[in-house]
Amino acid sequence: MPRSAKMAFRPGRAGRNADRKTALHPVGYWSDPLSPYGNGSQTMASVPSLASSLQQQLADALTAALPDAGAADPLLRRSDRADFQANGILALAKKLKGNPRELASQVTAALPAGELIKDIEVSGPGFLNITLSDKAIVETLAARAADTEGRLGVPVDADAGTTVIDYAQPNVAKEMHVGHLRSAVIGDAMVKILEFTGENVVRRHHIGDWGTQFGMLIQYLIEHPGALKHDGAADGASDGEAAMSTLNRVYKESRALFDSDEEFKARSRDRVVALQAGDPETLELWQGFVDESKIYFHSVFDKLDMEVRDPDIVGESGYNDMLEETCRILEETGVAVRSEGALCVFFDDVKGPDGNKVPLIVKKTNGGYGYAATDLSAIRDRVQDLKADTLLYVVDARQSLHFKMVFETARRAGWLNEDVKAVQLAFGTVLGKDGKPFKTREGETVRLQDLLDEAVERATAVVREKAGKVGLSEDEIVENGRYVGIGAVKYADLSTSAVRDYKFDLDQMVALNGDTSVYLQYAYARIRSILRRAGDAVPAAHPELELVPAERALGLHLDQFGEVLAEVAAGYEPHKLAAYLYQLASHLTTFYDQCQVLSPDNAPEVVENRLFLVELTARTLHRGMALLGIRTPEKL
Ligand code: ARG
């Protein structure tokens, strides 16, 4: 290999000088696990991964070997035989009618001398097998560990934009169900992940707070003043639960009246008209329902350990002033047409079973506006006022046709154009153990609160079993029980691809082994316990040491964190982050099997280097879990 001054791999500060002082982390980076992350700072060190350094060197070598071939991708992949395999040369040689093995040798010869690559060999018809040096691995990880911003060297996306994310959108005066759980959990993770990559994120909770049912509810309240007065929280019930049970009662009673009493029905219809006309008394009563519901929503979100901010709750009613204009523009531009008295948008490929086109109805025959008019107005608001370049909707896959039609309509109207992307992050149905949509034995939808309470209860039992050994106080048991229980529910939701249905199985969710959050939380706590027991030994990188296979495997996996995050953010695929973290914990398990950390038989620098590896693993687990909205208790 010819010597070259140009090297893509430049270890950071700590990499070059891995003494104790620089390898240590400032006290305090550890505290406040779920605080808003410090992104946006331009001064932090972003550390190129080993893979990207290698990719760069190979691409340069390809260009050097074939100056006329233009930019070529070496197609670098992780490999079992070596650390990496480059598969791109084969196709390139074929294209240029050259000999692949010869080209592979030329590329190898054109690689710069340096410390990144330990071993490179041409294999098979023209692949390159590449093994990295232990030194490069440890130095790169040390540079990541030295990032004091808590970003672990992950760069902030230079061309980040503004994403408006529509998630956690329950309905006023109605019980939340597991579908609302999914939207909240997936949406919250995406908010955190996108913000971490540097994206400007605007949250929107598009709650169902408008529509004809409010005529019925308000009219009932007028005729039964005081119906919304609390029944008084039953023993142990929270304010949120009391609010919901009151709302439930009012809903049931007014529904019964609505279905049995034609005159009440007529008065309810008039009440909708009054509501839409902005009659002050009617609006005030409506607000009462919204406020009561918000108490309930917040109690569920608190239970979920999730921040939902009031100003971000902009429900259907928030677009009321725009509806008329939205419809007028659609009609004037010919995007929507009158059909049987309704204002409709038609699509060539949306047809009913009878072969007739099924329209998107933006204004009903009776003059009322529905779900489509609100969503179209929301798009105008989000693009024109909030300046979004991406609209992300975390909504049940069963609403996909609605969004397809809404997006297409907005495109025809010019509200969406090539500068704005609209995406539905569609999620599947939550199934019971029997594989059918999740219901109670009585066939009712499962109350979200009961479900979360049960998860916490089971998790607390699991935590309690080991509590003696770890020395947990009763308070800690209770707190960890929440973190483990809620984490289990979130992780189960996040660890399969969103669009797939999944089975809600609490036994499996809180299992200590397997692909569960508890397994990851234990991995984390175990490291923290080792670090507490380390005495005078401190984590410090020692690039001069030779690594054993389990150390290398762990190190190479740690190195991929930033790239995985970029992929997760770009494709809206939190399950890939979950999978990465699970693999990380599995690498750690293998590492423990093969490597003692605090053994007196180890040389001091081996102890330090291993502490360094596990500590970086802990920080990566902690950061990754936090991005999924899951806590990592220090002791478990
Ligand atoms: N509230 C709706 C429901 O419970 C979900 C709203 C989704 N967001 C939207 N912009 N349509 O099904």
pLDDT at residue 8 tops 60 = no
Tens of pLDDT, residue by residue over 72-90, are: 888 999 998 899 999 988 8
Query: Mean pLDDT over all residues of the chain?
Result: 90
| Sign of CA pseudo-dihedral 139, 590, 522, 572 | positive
Residue 3 corresponds to which tokens in the numbers above?
A: 């010597």
| Partners of residue 78 on adjacent β-strands | 84
- Using alpha carbons only, give the angle 59, 63, 69 rounded to the nearest 5 degrees: 115
359/375 same-domain check: yes
The Å distance, Cα 457 to ligand 1 centre, comes to 30
621 occurs within a structural domain: yes
Contact 452, 486 (CB under 8 A): yes
Return the best residue to mutate from 167, 169, 392 for the ligand 1 pocket (most ligand atoms within 8 A of CB): 169
Tens of pLDDT, residue by residue over 187-214, are: 999 999 999 999 999 999 999 999 889 9
Query: What three-state secondary structure class fits 200?
Result: strand
Contact 100, 90 (CB under 8 A): yes
363/415 same-domain check: yes
Residue 467 corresponds to which tokens in the numbers above?
A: 């509590």
Contact residues for 352 (Cβ-Cβ < 8 A; gap 6+): 358
242 occurs within a structural domain: yes
Q: What is the CATH number of the domain that holds 93?
A: 3.30.1360.70
Q: Where are the alpha helices (DSSP H) in 471-512?
A: 474-494, 506-509
Closest C-alpha to ligand 1, atom 5:
169
410/529 same-domain check: no
The stretch 567-577 carries a mean pLDDT of 97
pLDDT at residue 36 tops 60 = no
d(CA 326, CA 290): 25
The Å distance, Cα 339 to ligand 1 centre, comes to 26
Tens of pLDDT, residue by residue over 284-308, are: 999 999 999 999 999 999 999 999 9
Contact 448, 180 (CB under 8 A): yes
Closest C-alpha to ligand 1, atom 9:
206
Contact residues for 445 (Cβ-Cβ < 8 A; gap 6+): 175, 177, 178, 438, 439
The Å distance, Cα 403 to ligand 1 centre, comes to 10
Contact 250, 217 (CB under 8 A): yes
Which one of 255, 281, 309 terminates a domain? 309
Domain span at residue 539 reads 447-627
395 occurs within a structural domain: yes
Closest C-alpha to ligand 1, atom 11:
375
pLDDT at residue 310 tops 60 = yes
In the chain, how many domains are there? Answer: 4
98/183 same-domain check: no
298/352 same-domain check: no
Q: What is the CATH number of the domain that holds 371?
A: 3.40.50.620
pLDDT in the model for residue 70: 75
pLDDT in the model for residue 445: 77
pLDDT at residue 549 tops 90 = yes
Please state the φ and ψ torsions of residue 411, each to the nearest 5 degrees. -70, -45
d(CA 307, CA 191): 11
Query: What three-state secondary structure class fits 338?
Result: strand
The Å distance, Cα 267 to ligand 1 centre, comes to 28
Q: In what order do the strands lie in the sheet with 117-123?
A: 76-78, 84-86, 127-132, 117-123
304/322 same-domain check: no
d(CA 496, CA 501): 9
pLDDT in the model for residue 11: 32
Tens of pLDDT, residue by residue over 218-262, are: 999 999 998 888 765 555 667 888 888 889 899 999 999 999 999
The Å distance, Cα 436 to ligand 1 centre, comes to 23
d(CA 139, CA 155): 17
The stretch 312-339 carries a mean pLDDT of 97
d(CA 409, CA 102): 55
Closest C-alpha to ligand 1, atom 8:
206
| Sign of CA pseudo-dihedral 171, 174, 180, 184 | positive
Element (H, E) at 360: strand 360-363
The Å distance, Cα 169 to ligand 1 centre, comes to 6
pLDDT in the model for residue 477: 98
Residue 378 CA, closest ligand 1 atom number: 10
Residue 207 CA, closest ligand 1 atom number: 1
pLDDT at residue 65 tops 50 = yes
The Å distance, Cα 258 to ligand 1 centre, comes to 25
The stretch 299-326 carries a mean pLDDT of 96
The Å distance, Cα 326 to ligand 1 centre, comes to 19
Residue 375 CA, closest ligand 1 atom number: 10
- Using alpha carbons only, give the angle 129, 133, 134 rounded to the nearest 5 degrees: 130
Q: What is the CATH number of the domain that holds 577?
A: 1.10.730.10
Tens of pLDDT, residue by residue over 152-193, are: 999 998 889 999 999 999 999 998 988 899 999 999 999 999
Burial 247-266 (b: 16+ CB within 10 A, else e): beebbeebeebbeeeeebee
Residue 464 corresponds to which tokens in the numbers above?
A: 């309690």
475/601 same-domain check: yes
The Å distance, Cα 374 to ligand 1 centre, comes to 10
Which one of 85, 102, 136 terminates a domain? 136
Which one of 260, 281, 309 terminates a domain? 309
377/453 same-domain check: no
Residue 399 CA, closest ligand 1 atom number: 12
514/471 same-domain check: yes
Query: What would the DSSP string read from start to end of 181-197?
Result: HHHHHHHHHHHHHHHHT
18 occurs within a structural domain: no
The stretch 544-565 carries a mean pLDDT of 97
501/608 same-domain check: yes
Residue 396 CA, closest ligand 1 atom number: 12
Residue 395 CA, closest ligand 1 atom number: 7
Q: What is the 3-state secondary structure (H, E, C) of 257-290?
A: HHHHCHHHHHHHHHHHHHHHCCCHHHHHHHHHHH
Residue 180 CA, closest ligand 1 atom number: 4
Return the best residue to mutate from 395, 409, 427 for the ligand 1 pocket (most ligand atoms within 8 A of CB): 395
478/575 same-domain check: yes
The Å distance, Cα 207 to ligand 1 centre, comes to 6
Residue (of 430, 490, 486, 501) closest to 456 by Cα position = 486
Residue 371 CA, closest ligand 1 atom number: 11
The Å distance, Cα 170 to ligand 1 centre, comes to 7
Residue 402 CA, closest ligand 1 atom number: 11
| Partners of residue 425 on adjacent β-strands | 394
341 occurs within a structural domain: yes
The Å distance, Cα 416 to ligand 1 centre, comes to 20
The Å distance, Cα 161 to ligand 1 centre, comes to 24
608/524 same-domain check: yes
| Partners of residue 503 on adjacent β-strands | 431
Contact 145, 23 (CB under 8 A): yes
State CA 164 to chain mean position distance: 14
Residue (of 56, 190, 30) closest to 111 by Cα position = 56
The Å distance, Cα 415 to ligand 1 centre, comes to 20
Residue 208 CA, closest ligand 1 atom number: 1
538 occurs within a structural domain: yes
Residue (of 170, 181, 166, 207) closest to 430 by Cα position = 181
State the residue for tokens 């034995």. 441
Pocket, ligand 1, Cβ cutoff 6 A:
166, 169, 171, 206, 208, 375, 393, 395
The Å distance, Cα 117 to ligand 1 centre, comes to 52
Contact 257, 194 (CB under 8 A): no
67 occurs within a structural domain: yes
The Å distance, Cα 452 to ligand 1 centre, comes to 22
165 occurs within a structural domain: no
Please state the φ and ψ torsions of residue 227, each to the nearest 5 degrees. -65, -25
Tens of pLDDT, residue by residue over 373-417, are: 999 999 999 999 999 999 999 999 999 999 999 999 999 999 999
Return the best residue to mutate from 178, 205, 206, 316 for the ligand 1 pocket (most ligand atoms within 8 A of CB): 206
Query: What three-state secondary structure class fits 237?
Result: coil
Residue 167 corresponds to which tokens in the numbers above?
A: 């998630």
The Å distance, Cα 25 to ligand 1 centre, comes to 44
pLDDT in the model for residue 7: 31
Element (H, E) at 85: strand 84-86
d(CA 383, CA 380): 5
Closest C-alpha to ligand 1, atom 4:
170
